[in-house]
Structure 1
């Protein structure tokens, strides 16, 4: 009886993780670090990835492209990533959020990208974070590095 109850709890948790709604008002927000805007931590021209505790934030400057073009390219890259769908936003809005689910358990990770014009280049900030758990074993940082690598290769 106890084993059956435990199994029902585990299965119920798995179903909840897979079917829990994703509220755009909660997840489609501009990246912030330590209570301040990510733009303050990553001034234009700075290329970096900061990762830890299920979160990763990256910044890059993309020369000779408009924010709409950069976000359009990134949207195509993201949507070609396995188990990734768009939650909210558009290139024209200047911000997009995607959900990428883990292969086996379907844990959702949320990645938000914002872009702004910086003269002859576009400053891009990506912020990836998990919804459930405490750590992601570097998955979010690896995804950001992969997406940025594909973006800069274009």
Structure 2
């Protein structure tokens, strides 16, 4: 009896693991520009939204942070638009997708990164966006 339960749980985990890898990403999330719109770091359940004035950032901040995002491990650009630009980063073990959108509006750079499945991301998106801004603001080598 116990082996049937273990087998059942293993099969469910396998199905879940396959599903998060092949499930279609919500198209509306790849083009959304959610608020808040005022400058600051705005934590939310499952992600973060950071809005920074372009005047406080290096020149070509949007293009540079998009290059930084594209260079992030397990991250791929989705689509070709820049308004917003969308990136998907997948976790190492389960390949859970997180969607990040980057755009400029009202002289501000907006970066919104949020999980696709579940409710809590354990701070992964906030840490990733913080690394992106740190790399953006680092002095050139």
Q: TM-score, normalised by structure 2?
A: 0.84
1:113 is paired with a residue of what secondary structure?
strand
Name 1:59's counterpart in structure 2. 51
What number of residue pairs does the alignment pair up? 134
Q: Output the CA distance in 2 between the equivalents of 1:110 and 1:15.
A: 18
In structure 2, distance between residues paired with 1:24 and 1:88: 11
Question: 1:144 Cα shift?
Answer: 1.0
Residue 96 (1) aligns with residue 85 (2): yes
Structure 1 match to 2:19: 16
| C-alpha deviation, 1:89, in angstroms | 4.2
Coordinate RMSD, CA, aligned:
1.8
Task: Give structure 1 regions of 4+ aligned residues with deviation exceeding 6 angstroms.
Answer: none
Match of 1:114 in 2: 103
Name structure 2 gaps, 5 residues minimum: none
Instruction: Please list every run of 5 or more consecutive structure 1 residues that lacks an aligned counterpart in the other structure.
Output: 33-37
Equivalents in 1 of 2:26, 2:114: separation in Å? 14
Q: Any conservation in 2 of the 1:56–1:127 contact (CA below 8 Å)? A: yes
1:141 is aligned to 2:130? no
Residues 66, 102 of structure 2: 8 Å contact kept: no
Residues 88-129 of structure 1, C-alpha deviations (whole Å, 9 max, x = no match)? 3433xx3211101111111101111111363xxxx1011111
Alignment partner for residue 50 of structure 1, among 42, 47, 51?
Answer: 42
Match of 2:116 among 127, 131, 148: 131
**Aligned partners of 2:29 and 2:99 also within 8 Å:** no
Deviation digits for residues 11-58 of structure 1, max 9, x if unmatched?
0011001111224333321122xxxxx32xx1xxx3x21213212010
Distance in structure 2 (CA, Å) of the matches to 1:53 and 1:142 = 14
